[in-house]
Amino acid sequence: MYRKTWLEIDTDKIRHNIEILRRHSGKELMAVLKANAYGAGDIGVLHAVRAAGIHKIAVSSLEEALHMRRYGDEDILILGPVAPEHAGICIENRITIPAYDMAMIKALPDDCTGLKVHIKADTGMNRIGLDNLKDIQEAIRILQEKHADVEGIFTHFATADSDLEYTEIQFDKFSHFVRHCGYDFRYIHCDNSAATMDFQDDLSNLCRIGIAMYGIPQGELQHAVSFHTAIAMVKKVRRGETISYGTTYTAQQDEWIATLPVGYADGLLRANQGRHLLVNGELCEIVGRVCMDQCMIRLPQEYPVGTPAEIFGEHISVEDMAEDLHTIPYEIFTGISDRVTRIYLDNGTKKEYHFRFDGK
């Protein structure tokens, strides 16, 4: 690592969280590794979930699925739309697709031998999926005529982390589809991370876990991801001098200002101006606008170059950061760019993973 800005992923804590989720659900688990495993690094996290005994993963697209297929033999389910003309690629690479739209299902090749399919039921998310029993029954009939393997059925809860009453409404609709469609699915899944922890049902036999693997929300779970940088330069700024683009910050007295090699191109958005990082046990305000590659903080005293700074982690939770920025931890995690080095902690050892640069 040449630039001192990194994301730290504790795979021991990921495995701990998986065991908590497994105990809560009592069901088989599917690890959702879409969007580069929520920013934590899909290949690094794949090794962790594999070690925890998970053999099914989910991604958002065919591109992600083909990328993951290079690294293992796990069952891979695509959660998002797949064009029917790509069915052959999915068969060749043993990738399971969702059946979510009647036009898409009818456009699949006449011979889909070897293609595994999960029916996507829309129970209130109103994103993709079949929203009535008649279409689900017709979809199963067409897929069987095309010799596809209709392996599962699933839906997605819209408010499992905030409104269990609406989750119950969605579940009842999903249960009606499953119990009355006249087909025996091998896999039935509706629980996301929040539902795996807080919603119990006797219908599904598989849970899809995503952000809970990283300890969100915390509770019994352990935070497994932290974001760090280190001071690159320290200077004394005189009273009345301004900092960064737009001169939006003016020193009210002589101040120690540190420059950090992290900016909005790394995922530290401009909206972080005025928030604080932790340096040497002290909360230090981000002053002036966050730049593309750098930002500045006000120090209580002079600290040496190389002093680490926590952006979020043990002392500054990503939940608090998200609340300050009027967003959610998902957006913060997935917004951390590929140019940030990922460091994996595994049984006390560290391994660096560079997604874009090989260091040569």
Q: Quick one: average pLDDT of 87-95?
A: 98
pLDDT single digits (tens) 223-244:
999 999 999 999 999 999 999 9
Q: Which of 13, 34, 56, 173 is catalytic?
A: 34
Q: Which of 71, 106, 245, 351 is catalytic?
A: 245
pLDDT single digits (tens) 312-326:
999 999 999 999 999
Residue 359 has pLDDT above 60, yes or no: no
Round the average pLDDT of the chain to a whole number and report it. Answer: 96
Pairing between β-strand 149-154 and β-strand 116-120 as defined by DSSP bridges = parallel
Alpha helices in the chain (DSSP H): 11-25, 34-38, 42-51, 62-69, 87-92, 102-107, 133-145, 164-180, 193-198, 318-324, 329-334
pLDDT single digits (tens) 150-192:
999 999 999 998 899 999 999 999 999 999 999 999 999 999 9
Q: Quick one: average pLDDT of 98-122?
A: 98
Class of CATH domain 225-353: mainly beta
Q: Do domains 11-214 and 225-353 have the same CATH topology?
A: no
Our answer to whether residue 34 is catalytic in this structure is yes
CATH number belonging to domain 11-214: 3.20.20.10
Instruction: Quote the pLDDT of residue 1.
Output: 85
Q: Quick one: average pLDDT of 261-266?
A: 98
| Dist. CA 345–CA 304, nearest whole Å | 26
267, 225 Cβ separation under 8 angstroms = no
| Dist. CA 358–CA 360, nearest whole Å | 6
| Per-domain boundaries in the chain | 11-214, 225-353
Our answer to whether residue 235 is catalytic in this structure is no
| Dist. CA 321–CA 72, nearest whole Å | 35
pLDDT single digits (tens) 128-143:
999 999 999 999 999 9
**Residue 88 phi, psi dihedral angles, 5° rounding:** -60, -40
